[in-house]
Amino acid sequence: MKIALASDHGGFELKEDIKKNLLSKGYEILDLGTTNGTDSVDYPNYGRICGEAVMAGIAEKGIVFCGTGIGVSIAANKVKGVRCALCTSVFMAEMASCHNDANVLALGGRTTELETALEIVKTWLNTEFEGGRHQKRVDLLNQMR
Ligand code: RB5
């Protein structure tokens, strides 16, 4: 599976750590930046480009990072068809997949420890969408602009 990653400066270090972990597990990674390390950049550009990569089918899923995960999740969710979930716990990651069928995950580099972030990513990737009553709700989301 190919996963697109994008972060601003606040999420850069967490993105690098998650990238290493996913590569070691055999995932293919499309790194959309920032390429400026921890130099200040604007998070809306990174949330958006990752959402666009997923909707264009260049990657199956995306993970966006900023200081809190809030800004990049707002930006990713502006892209039609993106269901980006900001998760701070393993339970949220499980629900993001089985109830919301989230195609993009958002994480905060200044709010979530690496160990928790790794568990969140693993859970989000390995939990199946339940469908059933949740399908109709996801369909309603998909109809929204
Ligand atoms: C950048 O300082 C910070 O505002 C950003 O990383 C993010 O937390 C925005 O939501």
Using 50, 70 and 90 to split pLDDT, how confident is the model at 27? very high
Which strands make up the sheet holding 28-31, listed edge to edge? 28-31, 2-7, 61-66, 104-108, 84-86
Distance 25 CA to ligand 1 centre (A): 29
Range of the domain at 123: 2-143
CB 77 within 8 A of CB 32: no
Convert the pLDDT of each residue in 37-71 to its tens digit.
999 999 999 999 999 999 999 999 999 999 999 99
Residue ranges lining ligand 1, Cβ < 6 Å: 8, 10, 43, 66-68, 70-71
Q: Check residue 32 and give its pLDDT.
A: 98
- At 145, is the pLDDT very low, low, confident or very high (cuts 50, 70, 90)? confident
Identify the residue whose C-alpha is closest to ligand 1 atom 8. Answer: 67
Cα of 31 from ligand 1 centre, angstroms: 19
CATH at residue 15: 3.40.1400.10
H or E element, residue 68 = none
- pLDDT beyond 90 at 77: yes
84 CB contacts (<8 Å, ≥6 apart)?
Answer: 47, 51, 62, 64, 72, 73, 76, 77, 102, 103, 104, 105, 106
Q: Of all protein residues, whose CA lies closest to atom 5 belonging to ligand 1?
A: 67
Mean pLDDT, the chain, integer: 97
pTM for the complete prediction? Answer: 0.97
Structure tokens given for 115: 């160990």
Cα of 68 vs centre of ligand 1, distance in Å, is: 6
Residues 93-117: tens digit of each pLDDT: 999 999 999 999 999 999 999 999 9
**In terms of DSSP H, where are the helices of 25-131?**
43-55, 70-76, 90-98, 114-126
Domain count, the chain: 1
Contacts of 115 (CB under 8 A, 6+ apart): none
Give the residue numbers annotated as catalytic, written as ranges.
66, 99
Ligand 1 atom with the shortest distance to the CA of 74: 10
Q: CA nearest 32: which of 52, 17, 57? A: 52
